[in-house]
Amino acid sequence: MHYINHENNQRLIPRNLSHLPTMSTPSLIPFFLLTFILGLASSTPSTAAAAATATTKPAPLVFPLKKDAATNQYYTTLQLGTPPTAMNAVLDLAGEYTWLDCSSYRSSSYRPVHCNSSRCEAAGSLSCNGCYGPAKPGCTNDTCGVYAANPFLNVLPGSGLAEDVLVLHSTDGIKYKSTSKYQRFAFSCVDDGLNGTTEGLAKSTKGIVALARNPASLPTELSTQLNLPRIFALCLPSSSSGAGHGDLYVGGGPYTRPPIKQDLAKSLLRTQLLVNPVKRAPVYSEGEASDEYFIDVTTIKVDFAPISFKSSILTIDKNGVGGTKIATLTPYTVLHSAIFRPLVNEFIKKAMDRKIKKAAPVAPFGACFDAKTVKSGAAGPHVPTIVLVLRSGVQWRMEGANSMARVSKDVMCLGFVDGGSKLRTSIVIGAHQMEDNLVEFDVGSSTFGFSNSLLLQNSSCSSRS
């Protein structure tokens, strides 16, 4: 039995996907018409498995990251197909399958992944898809069925897995260097017949780059297929203007951010990466573990003062409720009300001690201040520091650049949002709080590493190369 859950409205619909013999059209398909299930699997076993190697062995890999000002989403550019087409796609740490709107995609090297192939099985496919022609990327028969989850929509476009050539860049730690080609990058092509598959995503983008722990996500796939360590890292840029860009690293360090001379991989603070035993989104079966990234926040401090609240909500219970996860599609950290209220109160108190004046709150934030009364420092507005103390005692320190959100010329607000008292995950660390920090997800050894604000070291996540 599989379930489909839309976290936004908490709708939960059980559905046995293996009893859905409907033919899909090449379009946006409400999940209840999800896929066309072929009774028989392909009679042609995949021959592609033999060609599973890249032309050169790249390590580590880098992809450029940009910030979209209108949505506060972060996206990268994939150069896919023959000849290569540049496609922008939004990063999603909870994303399981990379997908792209392929309505205008043309490539001579595009190949559907067949249903009865090891690749399809490894991807955790739920169905075998067919399509009434004409045949083109996103519309083929005997195609490994996955779902293209758009977190902003209450529909899951039924979609088939495909492979195509992906251009890879490696780095010497500073500059983007040699390029190579990976022949079998798996992604899912959505033919957007109804316009709207990409609703909610940054305008210049055509889909999602999946970063979850799932076997089919981009870092898992590249690490597995290219024999790289199962490590990826994000350096999210704070600026959406200018020529600079941030970086997604796949395969581990070195991480060099000029003018810092030493490799940041050697100085990251590290804590355990946790697995939430209960998966709830977007499609799951009973007993399946979450493939999102959880860490253990043990205490929250404002400057040196711990705030007090019922600390049991910081642990993940047997139903998967509670705890702390990290999300790139959440613009500002969302907190359970039981944490949000005392945090805001303590922050206001400490801000007043610094002679910072309050201003009227601006939604969705709870505490706002007169910007003229806030001094500025190396790491943004000079305000009380919010400190997340993590298991093993390391401290993730959020300075003004990460804690404050500018809402107008005259007003800045504490950039944390009240998620109410029914929030499933008590702390969802959002992207604004990770900007200009290097954060590393070492899935192989289950550790999460972070640099704290690079601005304090006169560096940032906006490379100029």
Strand ranges (E), 131-219: 143-147, 158-171, 176-190, 207-210
Is 417 an interacting residue with respect to ligand NAG (CB under 6 A)? no
- CA-wise closest residue to 54 among 150, 149, 238, 185: 185
- For residue 154, the minimal CB distance to ligand NAG (Å) is 19
Candidates 174, 194, 289, 305; binder of ligand NAG (CB under 6 A) is: 194
Residues 248-267 that bind ligand NAG (CB under 6 A): 259
Site string for ligand NAG, 150-189 (x = CB under 6 A): ----------------------------------------
Q: Alpha-carbon torsion 332, 251, 453, 385, what sign?
A: positive
Stretch of 39-47, 63-71, 386-394, 424-432 contacting ligand NAG, by CB under 6 A: 39-47
Residues 6+ apart with CB under 8 A from 420: 336, 337
Dihedral sign computed on CA atoms, order 329, 399, 334, 230: positive
Using the 8-state DSSP alphabet, how is residue 432 labeled? G
Nearest approach, Cβ of 351 to ligand NAG (angstroms)?
Answer: 26
Binding window for ligand NAG (CB under 6 A); candidates: 7-15, 63-71, 135-143, 395-403: 135-143
DSSP letter for 205, please. -
Beta strands 176-190 and 333-335, pairing class? unpaired
The backbone torsions φ and ψ at residue 385, rounded to the nearest 5 degrees and listed phi first, read -85, 135
Kindly state the smallest distance separating residue 89's Cβ from ligand NAG, in Å: 19
Q: In this chain, which stretch among 9-17, 132-140, 146-154, 381-389 interacts with ligand NAG, using CB under 6 A?
A: 132-140
Pairing relation of β-strands 333-335 and 416-418?
A: parallel
Q: How far is the CB of 49 from ligand NAG (least distance, A)?
A: 9
Q: By CB under 6 A, name the one of 45, 83, 200, 393 that touches ligand NAG.
A: 45
Which of 9, 43, 47, 108 is close enough to bind ligand NAG by CB under 6 A? 43
By CB under 6 A, the count of residues binding ligand NAG is 17
- Does position 133 interact with ligand NAG (CB under 6 A)? The reply is yes
Stretch that binds ligand NAG, among 129-137, 160-168, 263-271, 312-320 (CB under 6 A): 129-137
Q: Closer to ligand NAG by CB, 195 or 376: give it.
A: 195
Question: Does residue number 116 form part of the binding site for ligand NAG (CB under 6 A)?
Answer: yes
112 cis-preceded (ω within 30 degrees of 0): no
Q: Using the minimum distance from each CB to ligand NAG, give the nearer residue, 21 or 45.
A: 45
Backbone dihedral region for residue 332 (phi beyond 0: left; psi -120 to 50: alpha; all else: beta): beta
CB-wise, 131 or 144, nearer to ligand NAG? Answer: 131
In the sheet where 358-359 sits, what is the strand order? 358-359, 368-370, 411-414, 404-406
Measured at the CA of 145, the angle between CA 143 and CA 148, to 5 degrees, comes to 125
Name the amino acid, one letter, at 98: T
Give yes or no for residue 131 binding ligand NAG (CB under 6 A).
Answer: yes
Closest approach, Cβ 285 to ligand NAG, in A, equals: 22
The least CB distance from residue 135 to ligand NAG, in Å, is 4
Assess 217 for contact with ligand NAG (CB under 6 A). no
Q: What is the DSSP-derived secondary structure letter of residue 192?
A: -
For residue 298, the number of C-alpha atoms closer than 13 Å in the C-beta half-sphere is 9
Query: Pick from 457, 437, 436, 456: which is nearest to 244 by CA?
Result: 436
Please enumerate in sequence order all residues whose Cβ is within 8 A of that of 416, keeping only pairs 6 or more positions apart, or say none: 332, 333, 334, 335, 340, 343, 344, 365, 366, 386, 403
239 sits near ligand NAG (criterion: CB under 6 A)? no
Closer CB to ligand NAG, 335 or 461, in the complex? 461
- Determine if 21 is a binding residue for ligand NAG (CB under 6 A): no
Q: Which residue stretch of 134-142, 179-187, 210-218, 391-399 sits at the interface with ligand NAG (rule: CB under 6 A)?
A: 134-142
**Interface with ligand NAG (CB under 6 A):** 41-43, 45, 116, 130-133, 135, 139-141, 194-195, 259, 458
